[in-house]
Chain A
Amino acid sequence: MAKCSLCGAPAVAEVRYARLRLCREHFLEFVERKVERAVREHHMIRRGEKVVAAISGGKDSATLAGVLARLRERLGFGLVLAHIDLGIGEYSVRSRRASERLADELGLPLLVLSVEELLGDGVPRLAMKARRPACSVCGIVKRYLLNALAIEARADRVATGHNADDIAAYALKAFLTQNLEDLRKQKPATPSIEGLAVSRVKPLYSVYEKESYLYALLRGLPFYHEECPHARLTSLDFHLKEMINKLESRHPGIKLQLVRGLARNADRYPGEDWEPVPCRHCGLISYGGECSFCRLTSRVKGEPLGGKVRGKIRSLIEGSHI
Chain B
Amino acid sequence: MARVTVRMLPGGETRTVEAERVSDLIRSLGLDDESYVILRDGKPLLPGDRLRDGETIVVVRVLSGG
Interface residues of chain A, those whose CB is within 8 Å of chain B, are 1-2, 11-14, 21, 58-60, 165-166, 169, 208-210, 212-214, 217-218, 225-228, 231-233, 235-239, 241-242, 245-246, 248-249
Contacts and interface: CB of A to CB of B under 8 A. Distances in A.
Given A12-B44, A217-B44, A210 B66 contact: no
A238 B35 CA distance: 11
Contacts, number: 80
Nearest to A228: B65
Interface residues of B, number: 21
A13 B46 CA distance: 6
Contacts of A60: 64
Contacts of B43: 12
A242 B66 contact: no
Interface of B: 9-10, 32-37, 42-44, 46-49, 60, 62-66
A172 to B, nearest CB: 12
Given A210-B62, A235-B66, A2 B35 contact: no
B10 A208 contact: no
User: Which 7 A-B pairs have CB atoms at the shortest separation, nearest pair first?
Assistant: A237-B66, A235-B66, A231-B65, A245-B34, A213-B62, A238-B66, A245-B35
A14 B46 contact: yes
Nearest to A59: B62
Contacts of A13: 44, 46
A11 B64 CA distance: 25
- For the complex, would chain B's binding face be called helix, strand, loop or mixed by DSSP majority? loop
Given A1-B49, A165-B63, 16 more contacts: A2-B46, A2-B48, A12-B46, A208-B34, A209-B62, A209-B63, A210-B34, A210-B35, A225-B9, A232-B65, A233-B65, A233-B66, A241-B66, A242-B32, A245-B32, A245-B63
19 contacts: A2-B46, A2-B48, A11-B46, A12-B43, A12-B46, A13-B46, A59-B62, A208-B34, A209-B35, A217-B37, A218-B44, A225-B60, A227-B65, A235-B66, A242-B32, A242-B35, A245-B32, A246-B32, A249-B32
A210 B10 contact: no
- For the complex, would chain A's binding face be called helix, strand, loop or mixed by DSSP majority? helix
B62 to A, nearest CB: 4
Nearest to B49: A1
Contacts of B33: 249
A237 B63 CA distance: 11
B49 A2 contact: yes
B46 A21 contact: yes
A13 B37 CA distance: 9
B46 A226 contact: no
Given A1-B49, A227-B10, A241-B35, A232 B60 contact: no
Contacts of A11: 46
B48 A214 contact: no
A225 B10 contact: yes
Contact of A241 (B36, B48, B63): B63
Contacts of A166: 64
Nearest to A166: B64
Contacts of A213: 37, 60, 62
Nearest to B39: A217
Given A14-B47, A233-B65, A241-B63, A249 B34 contact: yes
